[in-house]
Amino acid sequence: MDSEQGLPLPQRYWAIAVVALGITLAVLDGAIANVALPTIARNLNASPADSIWVVNAYQLAITISLLPLASLGDRIGYRRVYMAGLALFTVSSLACALSGSLTALTVARVVQGFGAAGIMSVHTALVRIIYPHDQLGRGVAINATVVAISSVIGPTIASSVLAVAPWPWLFAINVPIGLAAFAIGWSSVPRTPGHRQPYDYVSAIMNALFFGIAIVAVDGIGHGEHRPWLIGEIVATAVIGYFFVRRQLTQSAPLLPVDLMRIPVFALSVGASVCSFCAQMLAFVSLPFLLQDGFGMSQVQTGFLMTPWPLVIVFVAPVSGVLADRYSAGLLGGIGLAILTLGLVLLATVGAHPGTLDIACRMAVCGLGFGLFQSPNNRQMLSSAPRHRSGGASGMLGTARLTGQTLGAALVALIFGVAPKSGATIALAVAAAFAAAAVVSMLRLTGKRGVEPA
């Protein structure tokens, strides 16, 4: 297979379907358990505080293993990492469904998180193999659409399942879907060559410690953790991070892709991605409080009014992907981020008694901007990296998304702690500021479509 020409039809369609299905399961399970936490806590005789680990264990496992698995994909081939991740995710989903205690469920969620990381770490690298270079934007658009939609519809899916079945079915439904994806992927997901360089286990451990402690510290800032513990976590993160980066600078294919961050186009795209997902998370965590506590709306009304954002992305992201194959990512992404900034400003200044149409239109503007930005930016990030470092680029894409989402959630907690009455409005204003900051990065890419490095 000529890696520049992509897969032949119809194998290309089957392969991208498997990749999209896997990333849907992985991203969706990051949010789907939130709604069920009270039910799970009661059923397993656990406290609400302890039940939070059902969510945190999954996210933490993904974050600490994403870059190590992306590096492993560069070494042994992306197909092996992806298919192993899909298999592990499916088996651990069954273990989650059969768990009879909170401890068992938490352990199963850790394993499920490692499986999800296997999927997330190399899925965009596979897209680069599946699609020819002149159609890469279309494949990236499918991924961007799936990730964006899966990130925000988790509560809706969870509520629908819990309305007709007990909580174990939230995990059990993954099993037949995962098995089907694995069966189809076995013959359609392309094999990719690796390299013979030894795997850097020391860097993998340092990566896990750095990102794990950093997330705990960021979460502690948002939730008012005791100052001595917080200072200790920040110092530990800084020390480990210093030696981690120093080690990466000596590697030819570093686990933390500092070599790729030296490429200005790549670094700017990563920064824009972090800011955009931080803005999205700030909005999606704070908006329910604004709609319910500020405007007196019900949970059903809140869900309905937040739907236009992901719904517009469904239609816009594929179009922006096609455009990204023809026009500058900086131009398209800059326009998208400017629209997102406008939408967030409009939400922050909606007034005391807005109508349903007022809110829905503002949400649609945000979805238009976010959808227009993601596909070109992801394409730019992936295509600006050398082909043999596609795994590192793919892992960094996922890390940028998780970093932005983690930072956004922590900032919401911090803002609500400082200003509980006006926290939602302030959070939306901060979200607009992050989106505006990302505009600067994207405009610096105007005119640079990125080449396909060897």
What are the tens digits of pLDDT across the range 113-144? Answer: 999 999 988 888 888 888 887 777 777 778 77
CB 282 within 8 A of CB 412: yes
One domain for residues 1 and 105: yes
Domain-ending residue, one of 196, 213, 242? 196
One domain for residues 233 and 296: no
One domain for residues 189 and 336: no
Confidence band (pLDDT; 50, 70, 90) for 154? confident
- For residue 236, give its domain range: 201-250
Confidence band (pLDDT; 50, 70, 90) for 96? very high
One domain for residues 309 and 228: no
What is the end-to-end Cα distance of the chain in Å, rounded?
16
One domain for residues 238 and 341: no
Instruction: Give the residue carrying structure tokens 């026009």.
Output: 327
To the nearest 5 percent, what fractions of the chain are helix, strand and coil?
80, 0, 20
One domain for residues 207 and 183: no
Rounded CA gap, 212 and 62, in Å? 10
Q: For residue 179, count other CB atoms closer than 10 A to its CB.
A: 15
Q: Is 211 helix (H, G, I), strand (E, B) or coil?
A: helix
One domain for residues 224 and 299: no
The string of DSSP codes covering 99-133 is: --SHHHHHHHHHHHHHHHHHHHHHHHHHHHHHS-G
Q: What is the pLDDT of residue 347?
A: 92
Q: What is the pLDDT of residue 222?
A: 60
Looking at residues 337-343, what average pLDDT do you find?
93
Q: What CA–CA distances, in Å, run from 85 to 13, 26, 82, 112, 115?
A: 21, 10, 5, 9, 4
- Provide φ and ψ at 384, rounded to 5°: -80, -10
Contacts of 171 (CB under 8 A, 6+ apart): 29, 93, 94, 96, 97, 112
One domain for residues 375 and 433: yes
Exposed (0-12), middle (13-18) or buried (19+): which is 223, by Cβ within 10 Å?
exposed
One domain for residues 318 and 411: yes
What does the block give as tokens for 248?
A: 């990466």
Looking at residues 269-276, what average pLDDT do you find?
89
Look at 43-47, 143-147, 213-217, 397-401 and tell me which has the smallest mean pLDDT: 143-147
The string of DSSP codes covering 25-88 is: HHHHTTTTTTTTHHHHHHHTT--HHHHTHHHHHHHHHHHHHHHHHHHHHHHH-HHHHHHHHHHH
Domain-ending residue, one of 196, 213, 235? 196
One domain for residues 33 and 156: yes
Domain-ending residue, one of 150, 173, 196? 196
192 or 237, higher pLDDT: 237
- Provide φ and ψ at 223, rounded to 5°: -110, 15
- 116-125, 302-311, 400-409 — which one is most confidently predicted on average? 116-125
CB 133 within 8 A of CB 4: yes
One domain for residues 217 and 277: no
Rounded CA gap, 86 and 371, in Å? 27
One domain for residues 413 and 377: yes
411: amino acid identity, one letter = L
Structural domain total, the chain: 3
Q: Is 384 helix (H, G, I), strand (E, B) or coil?
A: coil
- Helices vs strands, H then E, count in the chain: 20, 0
Looking at residues 334-339, what average pLDDT do you find?
90
CATH code for the domain in which residue 25 is found: 1.20.1250.20
Looking at residues 428-435, what average pLDDT do you find?
92
Confidence band (pLDDT; 50, 70, 90) for 7? confident
Q: What is the pLDDT of residue 451?
A: 45
What does the block give as tokens for 336?
A: 């998208």
Q: Is the pLDDT of residue 2 over 60?
A: no
Please state, for a pLDDT cut of 90, what percent of the chain lies above it: 20
Looking at residues 152-177, what average pLDDT do you find?
83
pTM comes to 0.78
Q: What is the pLDDT of residue 176?
A: 93
